[in-house]
Amino acid sequence: MSNNSVIAPVPDSIRFDEGSHPRAKIGYVLLATEQTVQDDVIRLRRPGVGIHFTRAAIADSITNESLSAQADLLADCASSLLPDGSLDVVCYACTSGSLVIGEERVFAELNRGAPNAQATSLITGVIRALKKLRARRIVVATPYLDEVNQREVDYLEQAGFEVISICGLNLEKDSDMVRVAPDYITEFALEQDHPDADAIFVSCGALRTLDVIGKIEARAGKPAICSNQAMIWDCLRLAGIEDRFDGFGRLLAEF
């Protein structure tokens, strides 16, 4: 500033509006290795809805041990999302992580960091979605190791579902899960179907299942749920956003 510059007085009043995101603000805690969730959430972002992301450190290894260690990181991650307290919903966006840690612990940690937000998790959205579709007997397709699959079966059965079968691709690295081709996901999911199943669930936010969930559901002739579809639906509904989407299965089109 030159010696001749003058600082103008502050205006007597400033006009504010509701900001860029008057409808809702949703925060997602992602794995550091995650490459799919962010794209899917942005793809279905609604006008006036703010989307905010943070990441929790993890090696490129999805095991019960590595996922359990996430619990101690969630509060700090959530606290970095809109620290002004205006966040409406905060979600831990990892299917396997949320079921290994458990929803109760996940919610408590998220709310330590973001006390004003409604806390949810990816497995919570899946459970709510399956119940909304009145599915009790399910088949599950995953990319996980068997140790994670067993935890998933136990968790879903404790939540009241009968898991007719679960099949995983035995992948440990998140960076491999993201490379599973969507057309293969379709084939893999349909191979798991069973005449007695009420619904097909394709588990894992890293899989690009949102691209093909409508096709899976149409070909199976029964409800099909995938992780990111259920999570986005759950977060929007918690935030009071009732918008519908075509092309991504009955869940987002009808409920």
- Can you list the domains of the chain with their CATH numbers? 24-121+230-243 (3.40.50.12500), 125-227 (3.40.50.1860)
- Read off the pLDDT of residues 30-59 as tens digits, 9 standing for 90 and up: 999 999 999 999 999 999 999 999 999 999
Q: Which residues share a beta bridge with 53?
A: 28
Q: What is the mean pLDDT of residues 24-28?
A: 98
For the entire predicted model, the pTM comes to 0.95
Which residue from 200, 205, 190, 123 is spatially nearest to 156, judged by alpha carbons?
123
- Read off the pLDDT of residues 165-204 as tens digits, 9 standing for 90 and up: 999 999 999 999 999 999 999 999 999 999 999 999 999 9
Q: Is the pLDDT of residue 153 over 70?
A: yes
List all residues 6 or more positions away from 231 whose beta carbon is below 8 Å from its beta carbon: 37, 91, 93, 122, 125, 126, 205
Token digits for 214?
A: 């409508």
Q: Which residues share a beta bridge with 91?
A: 28, 120
Output phi, psi for 198, to 5 deg.
-80, -25
As separate numbers, helices (DSSP H) first and strands (DSSP E) second, the chain gives 12, 8
- Read off the pLDDT of residues 52-103 as tens digits, 9 standing for 90 and up: 999 999 999 999 999 999 999 999 999 999 999 999 999 999 999 999 999 9
Residue 209 binned pLDDT confidence (cut-offs 50, 70, 90)? very high
Contact 22, 134 (CB under 8 A): no
